[in-house]
Amino acid sequence: MINTFRSLSNPNYRLWFSGAVLSNVGTWLQRTAQDWIVISQLSDKNASAVGLVVFLQFAPQILLLPITGWTVDRVDRRKLLFITQCLMSMLALVLGFLVLSNHVELWQVCVCAFGLGCVAAFDAPARQVFVSDVVSEDELTNAVSLNSLSFNTARLVGPAIAGLLIAWIGAGWVFLLNAVSFIPMLVALHLLKARLPVKEEEISVGKTRSASSFLDGFRYISAHPTMRIQLIMTFLICSLGMNFAVYLSSMTVHVFKGHAAQYGMLISTMAIGSITGAMVTASRTKPTMFLLTLAAAGFAVSSAFAALSPNFMSFIVALVFLGLSLQMFMTSSNTLMQLSTERRYRGRVMSVVLATAMGSTAIGGPVVGAISDFLGARWGIGIGSVFGFAAAALGFWFMRKQSQEKAAEAR
């Protein structure tokens, strides 16, 4: 257990982690409230409307890819994160006041979601790479896993609280609470200003970069076969499997005839598995391709069980395993990518990775929404299972190919 939390012995990481926890809780408060008002108030219980909002929130990861990775590698990441956190807080305030004034419309939520996506396109890779600025290489695997643990602990607590708050004080105040939740992160970033060492090799490299150097992320990945396979597997898993906001909201209102509190409970249930998955990867020194492939297979199987669950309780059990396997896959993939990449290229490589994950989720959002509306919510989950099996098959094929190549070289 001590090994699982070893990165927290680093005072700088401990400060960063403490600021991130409350910010992550606020993020899940907003996500839950946003998806719920879209499906329950701003549309006729239409999963496609939720899919549209998901698309607008994650599409900027692809649209802004030419500049996000280059920016993250070139500028002071602490300052960049300070700016993105401030902008996210302002967007939450805007949405909160719109809802409280009773003038909110679907198009306004869509605009705010797109704005949040544009800011997150810079924030997400900066967060991923900033961890390597705070901890040593030996601590990186553990620190990335603990970041996921923080995020998914927030996903456990946030939606459950959001569901109760929506019923108690309304969605508008939930958005305002999210705006306030950014303050601890901003304080942590300010305090880290004088505590982080300057990496001389990054300064020297940064002076020689050009605006076209964002292509280096693609070139770097294409030159490493294992990274290419990981990226394809990530696309398959995320495109139709990670749109849980779409299929869980659809399952809540159409299959289980539930309300906001029940929707929040489903997301929190999925987070129980995600926390377990994050702790499993945190306890390991370094993830492997085998673990990544096994997690993809687990995701496929658990998604199939969720789609076929005959009642609410069996659906909850399936969601726990779905969250566990999905978290193990994403954390292992992100950690392997960072450890396989030279420090000076990490911003650009992680921008490609995150753009693939979030961009494919954006593309899949409207697809899952349409499937859920026309074929049923269970089909919206089942299609993710199919793609999960494809990702697992690709991983097993690649490992077998590598094994055969090594055997041939040994002869």
- pLDDT tens digits for 14-53? 888 888 888 888 888 888 888 889 888 888 777 788 888 8
Indicate if the alpha-carbon torsion angle 65, 235, 133, 289 is positive or negative: negative
206: pLDDT strictly greater than 60:
no
200: pLDDT strictly greater than 60:
no
Higher pLDDT, 21 or 386: 386
Mean pLDDT of all residues in 293-298? 94
pLDDT tens track for 61-93: 777 876 877 787 778 888 999 999 999 999 999
Most confident of 54-58, 165-169, 201-205, 229-233: 229-233
Indicate if the alpha-carbon torsion angle 296, 299, 303, 309 is positive or negative: positive
Nearest CA among 320, 315, 330, 326 for reference residue 268: 320
pLDDT at 196: 61
pLDDT band at 399; cut points 50, 70, 90: very high
Mean pLDDT of the chain: 82
pLDDT at 411: 67
Most confident of 14-28, 134-148, 294-308, 341-355: 294-308
Q: Map out the domains of the chain with their CATH numbers.
A: 8-194+214-404 (1.20.1250.20)
Mean pLDDT of all residues in 319-329? 87
pLDDT tens track for 239-267: 888 777 787 888 888 888 777 777 777 87
Q: In this structure, how many other beta carbons lie within 10 angstroms of the beta carbon of residue 91? A: 21
326: pLDDT strictly greater than 70:
yes
Nearest CA among 37, 120, 46, 86 for reference residue 370: 46
| 411: CB partners within 8 A, 6+ apart | none
Could you tell me what percentage of the chain is helix, strand and coil, using 3-state DSSP and rounding each to the nearest 5?
85, 0, 15
pLDDT at 152: 65
Question: What is the rounded CA–CA span in Å between residue 158 and residue 164?
Answer: 10
